[in-house]
Structure 1
Amino acid sequence: MADVHVALDLGSPASQLLWVELRWSPTQPRQTWSLPVWTPGSYTVRDPSQHLHSLTVQQAGQLLFPRRRSPETWDVECLVSEPLTVRYALEARQLTVRTNHVDPVFASLCLSAVVMLIEGQRWNQHVLEVLLPASWTAVCPLPRNNGSFLAEDFDHLVDAPVHAGELHVEMLNVRKVSHELVLIGTPPSGWSSTLPAEIESICSSVCDLMGSDPPSREPYQLVLQLLDQGYGGLEHDNSSVMQFPWTRLLENGGTRSLLQLIGHEYLHQWNVRRLRPSEYVPYRYDRPVISEGLWFAEGITSYFDLALPLLSGFSSRLDLLEDLAADLSHVLLNPGTTIQSLADSSREAWVRLYKQSPANARSQISYYRLGTALAFCLDVRLRQVGGSLAETLRLLWSRLGVHGRGYTRHDLMEVISASSAELAAQLPIWLDNCGSIPVESCLNELGLQLEPVMAAHPDAGWTLREADGSVWIDRTVSSGAAESAGLVAGDELLSLRNWRCQNLQRSQQLLHGSDQCQVMYSRRGRIASTELFLKKAGVERHRLAWDPGATREARSLRDQWFQII
């Protein structure tokens, strides 16, 4: 038995347990297996083995006794060539795109958090069987064979998410390539009848951007989970899984946001899955792997996802400016840009971006957002010398991505130098030096200007959250009013100006008045008070607007920039 046989038992969904069985024939007398500690595309150690229990090992009708060598690794003494069976349970109660969830309505499984990597078996075929409740069906982007799914190897298997339940599946067509749209959940007013056509158009625009047909196998699978809260996506070679809150669809720009998410994950077929930092070729599942290239993987993709609704005819130039302004505002107003470079933001993703804390909020910047800012500046400067960022991405794809080769900083500089050696030499400065990315200069070169939008309330130097019927300080601004008053993250606000803080809205209203504000708070159960000296309302965000004094050259460059491709 050369194959590894994997069986997933979802027969008791109300238990929120997933039973996993692995069967294979060992080729050595000591067999080792381990559960991956992370999921490609999500750069943090999640240790899914914390959800595993009831592991048993059997061979030739006998119960064997494995040894746990690390939190995620086991081994056992066994017979060679005699089938070995490992069985275990996983608690499946985390509904994200990178974890596992099972309930009586549906199941969503990320197989890198489910299936063990068996030593010596990584590159062998894996056969997947999914056992379901009577009324359920399962979808998975692996080819089928006699009721099972076939994976070429372990990497192919764990890159294939499994979804099961009473699912709604629609067939789409993108450049004559078949796609499956799997809809889980329905908004209260129902899905728009135009959604399938809109998704086809967004995906076609991504193909136009990359100058190629989808590189995935058919059918490519788009899984959209509509939830009451939660947002995110995870890319795979032949599929993508997305979560979106239905309440966002009721807001201005909500549908545009959904289409941007879909386009973002779809573009990852090229940029991330097949064209990825060299450190991830091949993936290491047993440890975090640091790479400075994550800014290119996510920042470039995030930059282009903003423009995909415009390319598809579903939004306007003003909509694009609104969305770009939101990302640039985050960069321009974030104190983390003075502490963390873009290269460091990428390297430190494993310990910073995915592990949020009040301190991290003050000392880091997202490589998604700062990467978007660099991508914008790179695009503008490339267009000034007759190139474009889209052209540069396509060149990198043709040189490396189509061959499955990873890239380094040198590779990025080399493709940029095809348009401008001077600009290629500038890239390390933008990557390594805090505050070096020339956002405002590039906006001016496009005939655009930043317009500050002031906050509606005086500046207390804090961010508040409401939980358990109370108002809490979530974080404070360095050298801000709250910090100067001795307040810290985790303090519970009881009253302002001797009026009770009943909720967030009331707390904001009570800030209005004299600059001096008496604060009563609780810290670790002890009540205390302090004086808060408020500052004038500061800039909350920026808008982007046409510069009425823009030169003809700037307006011409702006029109070129709006072409995107």
Structure 2
Amino acid sequence: MNTTTGYAANNEQIKYTLTFPEAQAHYVDVEMTISGLAQKTLDLKMPVWAPGSYLVREFTRNIESLSVSAAGKALPAVKTRKNIWHIDVAGKSTVTVKYRVYAFEVSVRTSFIDAEHAFLSSPDIFIYPDGMLKTPSTVHIVPYKGWTTVSTSLEKVNGDSFTRTAPNYDILFDSPLEVGTQDVFGFKVGDTDYEVAMSGGGNYNKERVKKDFTRIVEQEVAVFGENPNRHYTFIIHNYLKGGGGLEHLSSTTLGATRDGYTHEGTYQSFLSLAAHEHFHLWNVKRLRPIALGPFDYDNENYTTNLWIAEGFTAYYQDVIVRRTQLYAPQNYLDLMARQITLLDNQPGAKVQSAAMASYDAWIKSYRPNENSANTTISYYTKGAVIAMMLDLEIINNTKGKNSLDDVMRYMYNEYYKVKKRGYTDAEFKLALEKFAGKNLDEFYAKYINDVTDIDYNSYLAYAGCKLTDDLAGSNTAALGITMIPNTRRVIVATVLRGTAAWDDGINVNDEIIAIDGKPADSKEPIGGDKKPGDKILVKLIRDGLEKEIPVTLKRSTTVKYKIEQLANATPQQLVVRKKWMTLQ
């Protein structure tokens, strides 16, 4: 018996019916029927966050008109917490819950409905009964006019595409649904069927997408040794300009640029995004930090290991595309140089460690402000750089025998398949040491738990490569700000730590109108003839008042890295290089 609610588990049946009478106004109407009840009271709950997106989003803010009835008679539903409704159900074996959800937020992690289609991100759609997370449920969709297709990883009921079932709520909350007129095509890798659902049109070439996705999937399966899915769904939303993705156990949602498929740079980024989210079906959805499952849907789930869960995945997204041989080795090196450039141009790299960036994701990563660049880093970027360093260390120390692949495969088998649980930070470190053949205490102390400057070339040298800064010899003066884009006005968006603007008191939201009496230009605010040490007079508007602030310019500390392959590499370096970059 459940001592909290007093009912015998596993006797309940839960059914949802979704209708869209006002899809054009961005609403879905949900009718939930719970039968087989035996308890006196029932608490209905809604998740406050979506797994994979580490922010409490307060999904109940989009719910309206919730009502509960039994045998046609209304039952009072008392809200006892921001996401909980309490109902007296004594003597009632079946109750019906009706509510409306407003869905008009474009992202891969939130629901969006209009007359064209519905994207349903399950955690912000489905209320569930407390204590019944392991209970199966059925979802029946009554489509809006003209909608013909459902794309999701949820299984069909009796072959009906518009009726789906989930064995428990962890699966339901990890299975978004796309309903509309999306273009659906598929491919097969091994025993796994893949569905690609394209929504929003686009200039994609189906055959090219299928061929390239196949290569990506094959390379990722090779890392882990198996594909745990029998079917997998890519839901792709095409926008005027889109991006981002969110992983799920047997599917993913991607944002893409509608007409970007014929631009090679944009298309390569799209493939990297697809590789990233698909790699997650192993790394984080199955091989996961111990804190990330079973989920607490009411509260934050803290871990210091997002630099592994997300950062290693960010590393592999480009490694995998490189392994497909779709792009030249230098493309891969350019992408890694870009990651290092992003990290070193972030003043927060000297403030926040990879472990703390992971832990504080809930309050910092998804809630950036005007000072975030000075105080935080991305665990995606720092984690990807750390993964590169560890990969090179392992390959070099084992003379090409082992790589980071071996760590990932071992951890997947040992913790997901054998121990059937997540890993601790210490356990992942032991696995890295096992395959590197060395103690990593110092590495962890410097680069994961602290903010020690990284000597990149000590690692890149293993592969006979060298990192250089194209701007190292420049003596460019800089004010030290970023500006609000897409406007001719010079409005300060960020003041970077340690720069001239920081030292002399330029503020975020200041509108710079003149420098030394000349109108400010958003393309070149301080003018190209200025040198470090020059003194300028900045005229600006702050809170409606004009001010003049003297500023002494400093040398720009912006870096722009590139990685090159050295021609005189040793045989050992060539072994590492070939293994690292999958050279043929």
Match of 1:182 in 2: 197
Q: Work out whether residues 92 and 102 of structure 1, in 8 Å CA contact, stay in contact via their aligned partners in 2.
A: yes
2 CA distance for matches of 1:557 and 1:564?
Answer: 10
1:192–1:62 CA distance, 2 compared to 1 (3 A): closer
TM-score by length of 1: 0.94
2 CA distance for matches of 1:356 and 1:390?
Answer: 33
Matched residue SS, 2:104: coil
2 CA distance for matches of 1:75 and 1:564?
Answer: 61
The one of 29, 32, 45 aligned to 1:22: 32
Structure 1 stretches of at least 4 aligned residues deviating more than 6 Å after TM superposition: none
The one of 88, 91, 98 aligned to 1:77: 88
Matched residue SS, 1:530: strand
Are residue 6 (structure 1) and residue 16 (structure 2) matched?
A: yes
Match of 1:230 in 2: 242
Give the deviation of 1:138 after TM superposition. Answer: 1.9
Give the deviation of 1:221 after TM superposition. Answer: 0.5
1:205–1:564 CA distance, 2 compared to 1 (3 A): farther
Match of 2:416 in 1: 401
Match of 1:216 in 2: 229
Are residue 415 (structure 1) and residue 427 (structure 2) matched?
A: no
2 CA distance for matches of 1:47 and 1:230?
Answer: 24
Are residue 494 (structure 1) and residue 513 (structure 2) matched?
A: yes
Matched residue SS, 1:418: helix
The one of 150, 155, 167 aligned to 2:165: 150
The one of 82, 91, 102 aligned to 2:102: 91
1:365–1:247 CA distance, 2 compared to 1 (3 A): farther
Q: Work out whether residues 136 and 169 of structure 2, in 8 Å CA contact, stay in contact via their aligned partners in 1.
A: yes
Amino acid in the other structure paired with 2:434: A
1:512–1:165 CA distance, 2 compared to 1 (3 A): farther
Matched residue SS, 2:470: strand
Give the deviation of 1:551 after TM superposition. Answer: 3.6
Match of 1:164 in 2: 179
2 CA distance for matches of 1:192 and 1:86?
Answer: 42
The answer for unaligned runs of 5 or more in structure 2 is 1-10
* Mean Cα deviation higher: 467-476 or 159-168: 467-476
2 CA distance for matches of 1:55 and 1:354?
Answer: 29
Q: Work out whether residues 515 and 526 of structure 2, in 8 Å CA contact, stay in contact via their aligned partners in 1.
A: no
Give the deviation of 1:485 after TM superposition. Answer: 2.7
Matched residue SS, 2:154: coil
Amino acid in the other structure paired with 2:467: L
How many residue pairs end up in the alignment? 560
Give the deviation of 1:373 after TM superposition. Answer: 1.1
1:537–1:280 CA distance, 2 compared to 1 (3 A): closer
Are residue 355 (structure 1) and residue 367 (structure 2) matched?
A: yes
2 CA distance for matches of 1:281 and 1:327?
Answer: 30
1:193–1:495 CA distance, 2 compared to 1 (3 A): farther
The one of 64, 77, 82 aligned to 1:53: 64
Deviations 1:89-138 (A, max 9, x none): 11111011110100111111110111112113211110101121232122
Deviations 1:21-59 (A, max 9, x none): 211033321110111011100111111111111111111
2 CA distance for matches of 1:176 and 1:33?
Answer: 39
1:564–1:72 CA distance, 2 compared to 1 (3 A): farther
Match of 1:532 in 2: 551
Deviations 1:259-299 (A, max 9, x none): 11001111111111111111122111000011012111111
1:510–1:77 CA distance, 2 compared to 1 (3 A): same
Match of 2:468 in 1: 451
Are residue 376 (structure 1) and residue 388 (structure 2) matched?
A: yes
Q: Work out whether residues 80 and 86 of structure 2, in 8 Å CA contact, stay in contact via their aligned partners in 1.
A: yes
Matched residue SS, 2:412: helix
1:280-359 aligned at under 5 Å gives the runs: 280-359=292-371
1 CA distance for matches of 2:454 and 2:411?
Answer: 22
1:537–1:434 CA distance, 2 compared to 1 (3 A): closer
Q: Work out whether residues 223 and 408 of structure 2, in 8 Å CA contact, stay in contact via their aligned partners in 1.
A: no
Matched residue SS, 2:336: helix
Matched residue SS, 1:280: coil
Q: Work out whether residues 450 and 543 of structure 1, in 8 Å CA contact, stay in contact via their aligned partners in 2.
A: yes
Amino acid in the other structure paired with 2:538: V
* Mean Cα deviation higher: 320-329 or 141-150: 141-150
Q: Work out whether residues 246 and 253 of structure 2, in 8 Å CA contact, stay in contact via their aligned partners in 1.
A: yes
2 CA distance for matches of 1:402 and 1:288?
Answer: 26
Match of 1:272 in 2: 284
2 CA distance for matches of 1:487 and 1:523?
Answer: 10
Amino acid in the other structure paired with 2:84: T
2 CA distance for matches of 1:30 and 1:499?
Answer: 72
The answer for unaligned runs of 5 or more in structure 1 is none
Q: Work out whether residues 452 and 539 of structure 1, in 8 Å CA contact, stay in contact via their aligned partners in 2.
A: no
* Mean Cα deviation higher: 4-13 or 370-379: 4-13
Amino acid in the other structure paired with 1:395: Y
Q: Work out whether residues 47 and 124 of structure 2, in 8 Å CA contact, stay in contact via their aligned partners in 1.
A: yes
Give the deviation of 1:244 after TM superposition. Answer: 1.6
Q: Work out whether residues 373 and 437 of structure 1, in 8 Å CA contact, stay in contact via their aligned partners in 2.
A: no
1 CA distance for matches of 2:277 and 2:568?
Answer: 38
* Mean Cα deviation higher: 481-490 or 102-111: 481-490
Deviations 1:452-480 (A, max 9, x none): 13389631111111367633211111121
1 CA distance for matches of 2:512 and 2:29?
Answer: 46
Amino acid in the other structure paired with 2:342: H
1:13–1:457 CA distance, 2 compared to 1 (3 A): farther
Deviations 1:361-391 (A, max 9, x none): 1111111111111111111111122221011
Are residue 202 (structure 1) and residue 242 (structure 2) matched?
A: no
2 CA distance for matches of 1:95 and 1:494?
Answer: 35
* Mean Cα deviation higher: 168-177 or 436-445: 436-445
The one of 442, 445, 450 aligned to 2:459: 442
Give the deviation of 1:317 after TM superposition. Answer: 0.7
Q: Work out whether residues 140 and 164 of structure 2, in 8 Å CA contact, stay in contact via their aligned partners in 1.
A: yes
Matched residue SS, 1:407: coil
Match of 2:266 in 1: 254
Match of 2:3 in 1: none
Matched residue SS, 1:279: coil
Give the deviation of 1:83 after TM superposition. Answer: 1.2
2 CA distance for matches of 1:549 and 1:532?
Answer: 47
Q: Work out whether residues 186 and 195 of structure 2, in 8 Å CA contact, stay in contact via their aligned partners in 1.
A: yes
Amino acid in the other structure paired with 2:62: H
Q: Work out whether residues 520 and 529 of structure 1, in 8 Å CA contact, stay in contact via their aligned partners in 2.
A: yes
The one of 352, 367, 378 aligned to 2:379: 367
1:497-512 aligned at under 5 Å gives the runs: 497-501=516-520, 504-505=522-523, 507-508=524-525, 510=527, 512=529
- The RMSD of aligned alpha carbons is 2.2
2 CA distance for matches of 1:289 and 1:538?
Answer: 37
TM-score by length of 2: 0.91
Match of 1:474 in 2: 493
Matched residue SS, 1:242: strand
Amino acid in the other structure paired with 2:186: M
Matched residue SS, 1:423: coil
Q: Work out whether residues 95 and 108 of structure 1, in 8 Å CA contact, stay in contact via their aligned partners in 2.
A: no
Give the deviation of 1:10 after TM superposition. Answer: 2.2
